[in-house]
Amino acid sequence: MEDNNINPIDFRNDKEIVNILSNLKHRIFPRPFEREAVKGENLLGAEIGVYKGEHAESLLRRLPIGKLFLVDPYEMYPDYYDGKLHYGVDQTPLDIAEKEAKQRLKQFEDKIVWIRKTSRNAISDLPQKLDFVYIDSNHQYEYIWSELRDYYARVKEGGILGGHDMYNGFQKEHTGVITAVLNFVQKNNLQLCVELPDWWVVKGKEAAAYDFQEKREVPLDHYINLHSSPIA
């Protein structure tokens, strides 16, 4: 007998699936970072890599922002290989993106501060003890690593450091992001949270495991000791 209660499976070809995931990555807002990670009132935050300002708009619409610092050089510097891959070697696309971002975010001008510098040069212009920092900039490993190191120090205890592009199945150029994030959380014993396409950590929150008996996350060392885990 046919079971009419079984939900049909939606099979798609590879190209259609990639397009769906790409739309989820770029076109669907709010992203997990502002839905799941960031809490609080009168928030002080920064976005590293603004481009056309679409995600900045999502942050400003979704969260109770006090001040949002927007960091982007809008410059096709020599080793910006990621930018050249997506925008070409000409400066024009970045000039157009900057103009679009400024127009899109004009309605929030009392809540934003533009910093037209690289992330390395901008950090001294930011206040200490930010509530959150979101990174979506140069995807090369060395750039992501330096931003993780420098901006984690700028986030307050209990604040959120996170970013975009935590996948590399059909976009191998994101591998540097994933490797840098994984190395950073391991080095600092932090609990990594991931929901496509975002990742984030809470400053000071140690790596954890979910205890199904206690129905909560517990520090990983405590979990292993508690359950005498056979993990090698």
Q: CA dihedral defined by 138, 141, 142, 144, rounded to 10 degrees?
A: 50
pTM of the model: 0.92
Do the domain assignments include residue 221?
A: no
> What is the span of the domain harbouring residue 128?
14-205
Q: What is the pLDDT of residue 88?
A: 73
202/42 Cα distance (integer angstroms): 18
Establish how many alpha carbons lie within 13 A of residue 91's alpha carbon, considering only the half-sphere containing its beta carbon.
7
* pLDDT of 151 higher than 70: yes
CATH code, 102: 3.40.50.150
Of 77, 81, 197, nearest in space to 140 by CA = 81
Please count the structural domains in the chain. 1
* pLDDT of 2 higher than 80: no
The pLDDT confidence band at residue 78, using thresholds 50, 70 and 90, is confident
Do the domain assignments include residue 9?
A: no
Do the domain assignments include residue 220?
A: no
Average pLDDT over every residue of 3-16:
85
Do the domain assignments include residue 29?
A: yes
Do the domain assignments include residue 40?
A: yes
Do the domain assignments include residue 50?
A: yes
Do the domain assignments include residue 159?
A: yes
The DSSP output letter for 134 is: E
Euclidean distance between the first and the last CA atom of the chain, given in angstroms as a whole number: 48
* pLDDT of 75 higher than 90: yes
Do the domain assignments include residue 121?
A: yes
* pLDDT of 210 higher than 70: yes
